Structures are given as C-alpha cells and as structure tokens.
Amino acid sequence: MMIYMDHAATTQTAPEVVEAMMPYFTECYGNAGSIYRLGSQSKKAVINAKETIAETLGAEANEIYFTSGGTESDNWALKAVYEAYRDKGRHIITTRIEHHAVLHTCEYLQKRGAQITYLDVDEEGMVDVKQLEGAIRPDTILISVMYANNEIGTLQPVREIGEIAAAHGILFHTDAVQAYGQLPINVAECHIDLLSASAHKFNGPKGVGFLYINRRVRMHSFMHGGQQERGRRAGTENVPGIAGLAAAVKRAYRIMEEKTKKEVELRDYLMMRIEREIPDVRLNGHRTMRLAGNVNFSFEAVESESTLIMLDMKGICASGGSACTTGALDPSHVLLAIGLSPELARGSIRFTIGEENTKEEIDTVVEELARIIAKLREMRGI
Ligand code: PLP
C-alpha cells in the first residue's frame, strides 16, 4: 500500500501527458530549428504550447519562454532583470519565505552589488502590502513575491502587490510554481511582469517549465548560444517536454474546478481530524487563504524526521518542511519566519493532497499519524 500525499514535491505524470510526449521521442524527432518538415513539426509543437499557456494567463504567445523548470525561471527572472536595470537602480524587494531558487539567487546578486529587502510575513505567512509599499525606494527595480508558498500553502495578495508595483513603475515577478495549474491566474489583472512555473507540479514531466516575460520588460539572454527563444534562451528546445507541459496545462485547466473542490474538502477534513484527535498541534499557514491541497502542522515534542520515517514504514509519503530541505537539519526558514521556535519548526509535517487521494486514505493517515505521534512522545517520556 502506498498513500502519496506529497504533491507539492512533485506529481505523477498523467497518462495523457505521456501520450502527448511520445511522438516527439519517436517519429517527430526533428530539431525545432530545422527547415525541413520533420523540424517544422517540432516547431509547431513549441508554438502551439506557447499559445496554450498564453491563453491561460491572458498573455501573448511570444511572452512565453520555455526553461528547465521553476529554478531556472526564478534565476533567469532575477538575474536578468538586475543586469538589465541596474543602471536605473539596485534595489530588489522580496520576502523571507521565498523558495531557495529566489533566496539563493538574491544572495548571489547581493554579492554583485544588489541591495535586497526581505519582507517579514505575519504568523500566517502573509505579506503586509503596507509594509511592502513602505519598503519601496527610488532605486527599487523589482518586487519578487511568490504566489503561493510551497511549505505552508499561504496565498499572497498578488493582485494588490501588482497594483502597487505598477503604480510605482517597478517590475513585478511572482514565483507561481505552486500556484500555476492549480488556480486561475491572469497576468494583466494582477500586473505581473514575470511569472515562473514548472510542469511537474501539475502532472507534467520533470525538468521543464516556463517564464512569462511581459513584452515591455528589457531582458538579456540567459543562456548564450543559438538563436532559440528569440535569442533569449539558447539551446535546442526540449520538444517532448514542452509538448508534455502543454498537455499538462490543458488537463490542469480542464479539471481545475472539480479538483480544487475535492482537495479543499479533503484538506479541511484532514485539518479538522488532526486538530480534534492529536493534542498539542499547531496549524501552519493561513486557515483559508491557502492552496487547496496543503496541510501543514507542527507537533510539539516530536522530530519530523522520525515521524516521516515511521509514516514511510506505513507506506505514507509526506514531507517535513519542503522536499528541498529534507535531510538538512536546519529548521525551515519559512516556519521560522512565521514565528515558530526552532524546536516546533523541526516537528512540522506537510501533507499535500492531490486529485487521486480519497477520504479513506485521509482516515488511514490520521489513524497512523496519531499512533506515531503518541509513540514518539511516549519514548520521550511525555
Ligand atoms: N519555486 C517553488 C515555490 C517551488 O515549490 C519549487 C519546487 O519545489 C521551485 C521553485 C523549483 O521548481 P523546479 O523543481 O521546477 O526547479
């Protein structure tokens, strides 16, 4: 038996996505840059994929650039904006709870002369828009705030942030890796200039994603080489991956409403049962302004490592903090930022529900979890 509740780490590639990719491995293997028919078939797949994605965002097809995933999109957005606009200013505003793809890129830019303001968040993980507006300086060139947090699921007031950025003539990037494909996003309505997304978070293949770049943004090339992606991101296009990404986008938007409804029901049921049946727990993140499938709790007096190992022995896949920090003993920067003590942060477990999970699975998870937490506390004499 396996119960997979780690959909924020990654998802299964959907059969219809694999099917959409297959021809580009087998008969349609041409280079999208080649002139003959075999090449133009691939080029057509790339163009169609851009159109599919652009339509979901309310953007233009030529504003979509394919990348190797969320990490590359975040790196590109921040580094290229800094390079192109540093004559105008060197100040970037972001938050303490961003993914490391943004935070470590900011640290890198700091070493190259950028000045970064890291906004605090409240105890539910929400950015204060007033504080954000107060942090703006004449030399601010970019605001980068994630759409939804990967650990605690909190959704940020992206539209308000976009309006503030636009009113001050500052570019706005959002890391939407956890949000795109899960909920509707319109870049014009939210004044988003750059948006990162990744296919493997919504049943697409791993290692492919995109960066939306508004056409008025001045951006340097990220990868140097050939003229692919209008000279902005060199390298032979990952045509099977791109076709898979487009198929995953179509699927995600087709099932979005129903999937969200189901996940919210299961999420609220899981949260209710944990709070009712396990003593000394704390819900992390906002109770309602959170991703449909995200549940994150801290359990007093237990180490998440031990809980995760014991859950795994029962076939249950969950995560402590984020997948990228699992294995590291440092408490999650996100949980510290919402005010948890290092001890409580180390006792946190994230369950991220997906469309295939059932109420029976939630029942099993709660029963096993309650037993494991009680046992671990008993071993510590609590
Ligand atoms: N940003 C966020 C918020 C994420 O959750 C992740 C992945 O977990 C990334 C960026 C990195 O995306 P990728 O795995 O496609 O590199």
* Domain ranges within the chain, ordered by starting residue: 3-9+256-379, 15-251
Question: 70 CB less than 6 Å from ligand 1?
Answer: yes
For residues 164 and 184, what is the distance between their CA atoms, to the nearest angstrom? 21
CB-CB contact of 185 with 212 (8 Å)? no
For residue 217, the Cα-to-chain-centroid distance in whole angstroms is: 22
The DSSP call for residue 226 is S
State residue 321's pLDDT score. Answer: 58
Rounded Cα gap, residues 338 and 310, in angstroms: 27
* Cβ burial, residue 24 (10 Å; 0-12/13-18/19+): buried
Helix 100-111 crosses helix 70-85 at what angle (to 10 degrees)? 30
pLDDT digits (tens, 9 = 90+) for 156-194: 999 999 999 999 999 999 999 999 999 999 999 999 999
Decide: 175 in ligand 1 pocket, CB within 6 A: yes
Indicate which atom in ligand 1 lies nearest the CA of residue 71.
16
Closest Cα partner for 202 from 140, 247, 232, 151?
Answer: 247
- Ligand 1 atom nearest the C-alpha of 98 is 3
Looking at residue 222, what is its pLDDT?
Answer: 84
Mean pLDDT of the chain: 96
Q: What is the largest CA-CA distance in the chain?
A: 73
How many angstroms separate the alpha carbon of residue 75 from the centre of ligand 1? 11
344 band by pLDDT with thresholds 50, 70 and 90 = very high
Nearest CA to ligand 1 atom 10: 70
Strand 140-144 vs strand 171-175: parallel, antiparallel, or unpaired? parallel
Question: In this structure, what DSSP letter does residue 94 have?
Answer: E
| Token output for 98 | 């961003």
User: Nearest C-alpha to atom 8 of ligand 1 is from which residue?
Assistant: 9
The Å distance, Cα 200 to ligand 1 centre, comes to 9
Pocket lining: 150 vs ligand 1, CB cutoff 6 Å? yes
- Residue 9 CA to ligand 1 center (angstroms) comes to 8
217 contacts 81 by C-beta, under 8 angstroms: yes
pLDDT of residue 328: 52
Q: State how beta strands 194-198 and 209-213 pair.
A: antiparallel
Q: Which of 285, 263, 262, 265 is nearest to 151 (CA)?
A: 285
Residue 11 φ/ψ region, left for φ over 0, alpha for ψ in the -120 to 50 degree band, beta for the rest: beta
Distance CA 182, CA 265 (A): 15
Give the CATH H-level superfamily of domain 3-9+256-379. Aspartate Aminotransferase, domain 1 (3.90.1150.10)
Q: Which of 67, 70, 81, 78 is nearest to 103 (CA)?
A: 78
pLDDT above 50: residue 323: no
Which protein residue's CA is at the shortest distance from atom 14 of ligand 1? 70
Task: Work out the percent of the chain whose per-residue pLDDT is above 90.
Answer: 94
Report d(CA 79, CA 110) in Å as an integer: 11
Q: Separation of 123 CA from ligand 1 center, angstroms? A: 23
| pTM score | 0.97
Supply the pLDDT for residue 325.
46
DSSP of 137-197: -TTEEEEE--SB-TTT-BBP-HHHHHHHHHHTT-EEEEE-TTTBTTB---TTTTT-SEEEE
DSSP E strands in 194-248: the ranges are 194-198, 209-213
In what helix (H) or strand (E) does residue 104 lie, and over which residues does it extend?
helix 100-111
Query: Which of 13, 99, 102 should be mutated for ligand 1, with most atoms under 8 A from CB?
Result: 99
Exposure string for 51-88, b = 16+ CB within 10 A, e = fewer: ebbbebbebeeebbbbbbbbbbbbbbbbbbbbeebbee
pLDDT at 301: 95
**198 CA to middle of ligand 1, Å?**
7
Task: Output 223 or 311, whichever has higher pLDDT.
Answer: 311
In CATH, what number does 15-251 get? 3.40.640.10
- Alpha-carbon distance values, 62 to 21, 147, 169, 194, 232 (Å): 22, 23, 23, 13, 11
151 lines ligand 1 (CB under 6 A): no
Q: Catalytic: 324?
A: yes
Is any ligand 1 atom within 6 A of the Cβ of residue 99? yes
- Ligand 1 mutation pick, 150, 173, 200, 319, max ligand atoms within 8 A of CB: 150
Query: Is there an atom of ligand 1 within 6 Å of 101 CB?
Result: yes
Coil, strand or helix at 346: coil
Mean pLDDT of the region 234-246: 97
Taking only the tens place, the pLDDT of each residue in 266-322 is: 999 999 999 999 999 999 999 999 999 999 999 999 999 999 999 999 999 999 954
